[in-house]
Amino acid sequence: MNISEYMTEAHATAVEKGWWQDGDRNFGEQIALMHSELSEALEHYREYGLDPKFMMFDDGDFDPVKPDGIAVEFADLLIRLFDTCERYHIPLESALQVKMKYNKTRPFRHNNKLA
């Protein structure tokens, strides 16, 4: 699947599960929820580090165990991002292509930025 297809699927699932039932969700809240997924990834990292046995998840049946780990939190971030972009017609895939192309033209460390 490409990014646009993931966006369509993420939003369709969110709608099906009732997350857009009352019309528009607050855009700022959507951003905050994306932040929360990154915070959960950081919490997992602080507890387990980058140990590969805690990085991934059981990719089997999922029942009754909910998938967990840094990779899953990053996946949750993408799902929230894709859902939001699809709902608000934000052309994420095109923007990603343009931005990656632009980044190749930037100077080393953007002229000595620290972070």
User: Is omega for the bond preceding 67 within 30 degrees of 0, making it cis?
Assistant: no
| Longest CA span, the chain | 50
- The string of pLDDT tens digits covering residues 17-60 is 999 998 778 999 999 999 999 999 999 999 988 887 776 665 55
pTM: 0.86
Q: Is the pLDDT of residue 93 over 80?
A: yes
DSSP-derived secondary structure letter, 101: H
Encoded tokens for 72: 């899953």
Distance, in Å, from the CA atom of 82 to the CA atom of 89, rounded to the nearest integer, reads 10
**C-alpha of 40 from chain center:** 12
